[in-house]
Structures are given as C-alpha cells and as structure tokens.
Amino acid sequence: MSVDRSLDLPVPIVDTDWLHRHLHHPRLRILDAVLMIPGLDRNLVAEYRQRHVPGARLFDIDAVANGEVGLPHMVPTPERFGVMVGAMGIGNDDAVVVYDEMGLMASPRVWWMFRLFGHDRVAVLDGGMPKWESEGRPLSRHMAQPTPEHFDARFRPELLRVADQLAFNLDAAADQVVDARSAGRFSGEEPEIWPGRRSGHIPCSLNLPFTDLLDPTSQTLLEAEDLRRRFDGAGIDLADPVVSTCGSGVTACVVALAAAALGRFDVAVYDGSWAEWGLPSARPVASGPPIAGGTTDDNGGLDITSAADGDVTDIVALWRDCGLVMPWNDPYADIALAQRNGNSDVLVGRVGDRIAATAMVGHDGHRGWIYYLAVAPDRQKAGLGRAMVEAAKSWVRDRGIAKLQLLIRDHNTAVQKFYESVGFTRKPLLFMEHWLDGRTGSPDA
C-alpha cells in the first residue's frame, strides 16, 4: 500500500480544530488511550464506551503491555505491539492521533510507544477529551469495528532505558535523568503511590513534574517559550541527552512530548521508572528537595570554603545523592583523613545555607589531586562544577604545585568532556591532568 501524503499530520501535537477538520479522513486513525493507576477512581474504559471522539478506537495500555514481568504498563515486544495495533485497524501508512480522558497523561505514552516501534506519523491531541468536550465537539457511542491491518513494528532501542542502564549512568553521567513525579514524591516527603516502593528518587536525577508542563486550566501543553523556561528552571539542558522517568513510565512521556515540541525527538524513557527502581533492592535512593537551579552565571552563586566538622553529614548525603559512595569505601573516614592531613582538604560550595557542591583536594609535594567532585543534581547546569574545579586549582597553586591530576572511569565520556572543557587532557591509565603553568605534558604523565 502506498503512503497517502494528502494528510499532512502536524507532530507531535495537533489541536482540536485540526482533528475536527480531518475527523473522517480515510487514512486517519484516532485512539482513546486508557490505563489504570493507583488512586484513580475512574473507569476509563466505561467512559470510552459512554462517549468518545467519533471513530476513535480504544487503546488500553495495560492490555497492550507486557504483563509477564510483574511491573505496570511495561513495553511489549515488537511482535506483540504489531499484532495488537494491527488488530485496531492501524497500518504503517496510517496517521495516528491519540487522546485521553485526563487531558495529557496517558496519550503521550501511546505516542511514545508508536515512535519506539518506528512509527513517526503519530501526534497527541492537545488538551485531550476535556478540551474536545468543553468546546462542544461531536461525540459518539458507536464502537468501531476496524478491519485488521498489518503493522510492522521496528524497534528503536535508543528511545528506551532499563534499570541496568540507569545504574550504569550513576557513574557514567552520560544522560540527564529527569523525574516527572511531583516534588513531594521526588523528595520523599509525600507517600509513594505505588505500594511496596521506597520513597525518594534516583541519585543525581532532576525534577520536572509533568504538571508543570501543562496549562492548569485547559490541560494543554504550554507554549514553546514557557516550556523552555520550565526545562531551564529544572536545570535541564536539551542540548544534552535526556532520559525521563516517573512513577511507572507513563507521565515520563509528557516530558518526552514537551521536548519533542521544542524539536528534541530523542528523549528516552526509563520504562520501569519508580515502580521498578523503588522496589526494595540494593539500588541507591536519594531523598530531599531539589536545589533550585537554572542560573548560568560563573559560579551559580557559590560560596566556597573549607568544610567544617558540622558539614560532614551533609557532604556524605550529597555524595550519596550523586552515586559517589561505593560499598568498598567509607566516606566518613575519607573526610576525617583529609581534614587532619596537612596536605589535603575538603572544599564545600554553598548556595544559601545548603551545601551544593564539594571537591576533595590534596597533593604529594609533586602533583595535586581532585577527589569527590560532586554537584547537587539540580545545579549541574549552573556552573558549580566549573567553580569547584577552579577552587581546586587555586588550592593546589597556592601550595606551589604545578600539576593537577584526577582519575576517571574509562567509559565516563561525559565527565571526561567536562574536564576537557576546564583545561584537563586525557593521559594513559585513566588519568587526566592539567598544568597550572601552561605546560601541556610531562615525561612521567
């Protein structure tokens, strides 16, 4: 079947006027997305049967999902997705518009799933059923009886993340992890709605509640300028890789949709999200409110001093949040040793009365070292890391040392790029170095 290009589908969002004009186009497939989540006291399947956009087919996310892994809403295999949407009368040549009963909650998940399986001609109805119904648009109770079509699902792994990849990222820091849950659930101050899960968030993740991306009245996506402000305010740089997460991989797709509206269609989604990561396990969990971010000044308002004895608990908490505390090291002992050794120190950077960044520094009389460079997750795009490195350089230079070194993991390309941006060069044996007097290398490096 040849693709009918007479239907020019805007992506990733269509408004109600566009859908009304194209309601009966022969190559348009409309989907009503439903799912069940804890605390939602509504039967969305029954609501679909009572009234829906004319011609809409029911897309039950849980019916399509992989139900064999013991987690909610999980992505099915490509073969299962192809069979299920083919049975809805959707082929690879069709344009798809998806909406939901809540405005913008479940529909972005279906949009993302179609894109995950290689189908780009898909868009979300802005404002969903609430906006459609409030404008007096036509409704129907007729249940569509679609003719099955063939849908060839072509999996795009780059749009999906699993738990092992998120665990790897704690060290690699290649992706910005963005949590779309409420600030209270992110911090651990509000009860987690998924039973049996711990409270808190993935270390080093940022918080951008999906509701902050929507107009509170119309439940439509914010305008582009406002979306950019929301991403910037959460400390998210859309020029860098982003992975979105939430409670169960659904509202994380609202973040992916908002990024796509700004031209970034490559945001990946952590499928298991907190329903998986929050289970009792050895996976690390951070807690506490995010530190306000978004500034891009030279040092993010940082006040850098040597650590005081009373700072130790906050320092270790920050290191844990950033995934720097490993089972084989004792951070309290490391701090105590640094503070009583005349050749080392722990530098802390405060924003207001909070410790937002740290760097442990030391020297052996020949070269200086940086350890435990950490920046609070929501300040990682605010210049604090650069400010702490400059403070470490000054500390080493003041002691007459010309060379500063650090050790990285060989796979940690994002961190390597950061250090290159502040003057370090990669050397053998996983070292990076920076000459404070302008030299570029030495025989013993």
Longest alpha-carbon distance in the chain = 82
Q: Is the dihedral of CA 261, 25, 130, 114 positive or negative?
A: negative
* Residue 228: band (very low, low, confident or very high) from pLDDT cuts 50, 70, 90: very high
Helix or strand or coil: residue 58? strand
* Residue 300: band (very low, low, confident or very high) from pLDDT cuts 50, 70, 90: low
Could you tell me if 121 and 96 are in contact, meaning their C-beta atoms sit under 8 angstroms apart? yes
Could you tell me if 221 and 279 are in contact, meaning their C-beta atoms sit under 8 angstroms apart? no
| Cis bond upstream, residue 12 (ω within 30) | yes
Count other Cβ atoms within 10 Å, centred on residue 142: 9
Alpha carbon distance, N-terminus to C-terminus of the chain: 63
The residue that leads in pLDDT, 3 or 6, is 6
Mean pLDDT to the nearest integer, 337-354: 89
Count other Cβ atoms within 10 Å, centred on residue 125: 29
Q: Tokens for 257? A: 């949709």
**Which of 140-144, 339-343, 397-401, 426-430 is predicted with the least confidence, judged by mean pLDDT?**
426-430
CA 270 to chain centroid, in Å, comes to 8
Can you list the domains of the chain with their CATH numbers? 13-155 (3.40.250.10), 158-277 (3.40.250.10), 303-435 (3.40.630.30)
Helix or strand or coil: residue 214? strand
Mean pLDDT to the nearest integer, 215-229: 96
Could you tell me if 247 and 195 are in contact, meaning their C-beta atoms sit under 8 angstroms apart? no
**Which of 105-119, 267-281, 372-386 is predicted with the least confidence, judged by mean pLDDT?**
372-386
Catalytic positions, written as ranges: 246
The residue that leads in pLDDT, 146 or 382, is 146
User: What is d(CA 89, CA 7) in angstroms, rounded to the nearest whole number?
Assistant: 17
* Residue 235: band (very low, low, confident or very high) from pLDDT cuts 50, 70, 90: confident
* Residue 289: band (very low, low, confident or very high) from pLDDT cuts 50, 70, 90: low
Q: Which run of H or E residues covers position 30?
A: strand 28-34
pLDDT of 301 higher than 50: yes
Helix or strand or coil: residue 221? strand
Quote the pLDDT of residue 438: 57
The residue that leads in pLDDT, 382 or 276, is 276
Q: Tokens for 134? A: 């409030």
pLDDT of 249 higher than 90: yes
